[in-house]
């Protein structure tokens, strides 16, 4: 068994209208070397090189797995966070046990284009999403580190168009359906 424990920290996103939680689980072991193996097990194209991490969507949450921590966005509550982390720790520990039979992979998924995202945003730089400009927000969405729903002033047609565009690049885990 690789991971035996973790410590949670929770916070609310900067957007004052946000109801959801963001949780970070700090792991008791460094799993940096295991990330390419986890990439193969989870889907095979989730790898992010800078910094080394895996980014996946699971039940409409964005999960970022790096060497010492797992960050999960858009959590309903702490109970949901615990359910997801227990699943991930199980996957990590199983991958650790079976790593001799798994081909590691650093394959990266194609990313959405920042300008295509920006074209669909209001471009008012109002900061309601918690980012200083729409451009910064677009970069974060393109990297898979922010979700399009975090722009509260986006009109419904543009929200749908953005989700349709991002859907072409969706990093869905096999477990997410």
User: What are the residues binding ligand SF4 (CB under 6 A)?
Assistant: 121-122, 124-129, 131, 134, 137, 151, 153
**Rounded least distance, CB 129 to ligand SF4, Å:** 3
Place of tokens 């079976």: 98
In 99-133, which residue ranges form alpha helices assigned H by DSSP?
114-120
* Residue nearer to ligand SF4 on the CB measure, 104 or 130: 130
* Ramachandran assignment for 70, one of left (phi > 0), alpha (psi -120 to 50 degrees), beta (any other): beta
* Residue nearer to ligand SF4 on the CB measure, 25 or 129: 129
* Residue nearer to ligand SF4 on the CB measure, 80 or 149: 149
**Rounded least distance, CB 37 to ligand SF4, Å:** 36
Contact 123, 151 (CB under 8 A): no
**Rounded least distance, CB 162 to ligand SF4, Å:** 10
What is the per-residue DSSP string for 21-46?
A: EEEEEEESS--GGGHHHHHHHHTS-B
Contact 69, 28 (CB under 8 A): no
**Rounded least distance, CB 127 to ligand SF4, Å:** 5
* Residue nearer to ligand SF4 on the CB measure, 1 or 153: 153
Sheet strands side by side (includes 53-58): 6-11, 21-27, 69-75, 61-66, 53-58, 47-48
* Residue nearer to ligand SF4 on the CB measure, 153 or 174: 153
């Amino acid at each position: 068994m690789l991971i035996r424990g973790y410590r949670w920290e929770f916070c609310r996103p900067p957007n004052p209208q946000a109801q959801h939680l963001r949780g970070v689980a700090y792991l008791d072991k460094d799993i940096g070397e295991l990330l390419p193996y986890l990439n193969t097990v989870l889907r095979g194209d989730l790898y992010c090189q800078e910094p080394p991490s895996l980014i996946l969507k699971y039940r409409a949450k964005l999960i970022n797995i790096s060497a010492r921590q797992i960050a999960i966005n858009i959590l309903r509550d702490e109970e949901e966070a615990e359910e997801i982390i227990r699943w991930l720790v199980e996957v990590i520990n199983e991958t650790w046990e079976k790593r001799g039979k798994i081909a590691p992979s650093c394959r990266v998924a194609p990313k959405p284009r920042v300008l295509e995202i920006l074209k669909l945003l209001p471009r008012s730089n109002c900061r309601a999403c918690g980012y200083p400009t729409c451009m910064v927000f677009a970069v974060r969405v393109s990297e898979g580190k922010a979700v399009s729903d975090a722009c509260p002033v986006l009109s419904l047609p543009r929200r749908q168009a953005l989700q349709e565009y991002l859907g072409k690049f969706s990093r869905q885990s096999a477990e997410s359906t």
